[in-house]
Structure 1
Amino acid sequence: MSIPSSISAILTAVPILDGSNWFNWMKPMKMVFLTAGLIGITSGMKLMGVKELAEWMAKDMQMIAYIFAKVSPEFRYLIKDLESAEAAWKALKEKFEKLTMGSQMVA
């Protein structure tokens, strides 16, 4: 049920999420989830039995700390009260995908 130590190495490639780099942040962050066996955080798909689901949920709760560490302090309010990396991903995606898409359209 523990999260692999190899995540530390991958996390160094993840930039701090700010108001302008959602797409550059989300790709390496997805690799962190993949390494932890938690790609369902981003897809919402969790096809497993009860025991596996319980283990997945425990890892999901641990993973929010990794997300929090890679979000700029000015945007941590978006996820500070959440207990699930999946919920944090959704909140960040909702905020930054729109923000970044809007910025790209203006440019």
Structure 2
Amino acid sequence: MAPTITSALTIVLTTVPMLGKDNWAKFGKGFKVFLLGVDALWVMGKGPKADESDQVALDRMLLPYLYTKIEEQYQPLLDDFESATAAWAALKAHFEKSSMSTRMAARAELHSIPHDPTKDIDVYIRAVGDAVKKPAAMGVSIDSTIHKDVLLMNLHPAFHTVCTILLARSPGLKLEDCITQLASSSSDPGVVLKIEDSDISSLAPAASAPR
């Protein structure tokens, strides 16, 4: 059967961010969902089977869809390719190449993830997890200890109690246990957060006086 790409899947494609300078990991996540929808995850791997004519045809058909999700300045990277698999490999090589500046930027981003206590703690946990993946994509390993340390050191002061408890359990505390404990925690009950209507950046924890 000839490959087809349904209108529903093109709608999925609209949710994929345009690939630019700093969002390779996020773009890859979104485009992966699109590829899963057309049963073509092999685009991100070894490509279609040579003896599967439908896969080979789909590989060529997917190239324009990939091309349209790339910012104009990076589209020339795909000029010499006729299949999505080859184009993906070229994009991967370009955006995952390791350089001192990109490594430093990725590490700096990891260590400066802000924790907004007005949002669910899971938002912060996911943000740190996503930031950990960027250096890894460049071949720089971020071990679980660093991942755990970043989670704890950037916690808002409203989470001082749970942070202190978790730090007391180090170095034996596993990353998975740390994440589980944080996910089930909330800010200290004695802390009141004052949120200015005009400026959310003015969040300020204030411990209530003991009674």
Give the TM interval when normalised to the shorter protein: 0.7 to 0.9
Q: How does 1:84-103 map to 2 (within 5 A)?
A: 84-98=83-97, 102=103, 103=105
1:62 corresponds to which residue? 61
8 Å contact kept, 2:13–2:34: yes
2:158 corresponds to which residue? none
2:51 corresponds to 1:29: no
- Seen in structure 2, the aligned counterparts of structure 1 residues 68 and 49 have a Cα distance that, compared at 3 Å, is closer
Amino acid at match of 2:95: F
State the alpha-carbon separation in 2 of the partners of residues 94 and 106 from structure 1: 22
Using CA pairs under 8 Å that are at least 6 residues apart, name the structure with larger relative contact order, 1 or 2. Answer: 1
- Seen in structure 2, the aligned counterparts of structure 1 residues 13 and 54 have a Cα distance that, compared at 3 Å, is same
Question: What's the offset of the Cα at 1:43?
Answer: 2.1
Which structure carries more helix by proportion? 1
Question: What's the offset of the Cα at 1:45?
Answer: 5.8
SS at match of 2:22: coil
8 Å contact kept, 1:16–1:71: yes
- Aligned residue pairs, count: 104
State TM-score, norm by structure 2: 0.45
2:129 corresponds to which residue? none
State TM-score, norm by structure 1: 0.85
State the alpha-carbon separation in 1 of the partners of residues 50 and 94 from structure 2: 32
Q: How does 1:17-56 map to 2 (within 5 A)?
A: 17-44=19-46, 46=48, 50=51, 53-56=52-55
- Seen in structure 2, the aligned counterparts of structure 1 residues 25 and 96 have a Cα distance that, compared at 3 Å, is same
Gaps of 5+ in 1: none
State the alpha-carbon separation in 1 of the partners of residues 47 and 89 from structure 2: 13
Gaps of 5+ in 2: 110-211
8 Å contact kept, 2:47–2:85: no
Q: CA RMSD of the aligned region, Å?
A: 2.1
Identity of aligned residues (%): 29
Deviations 1:33-83 (A, max 9, x none): 11111110012265x683xx1100101101010110000000001012210
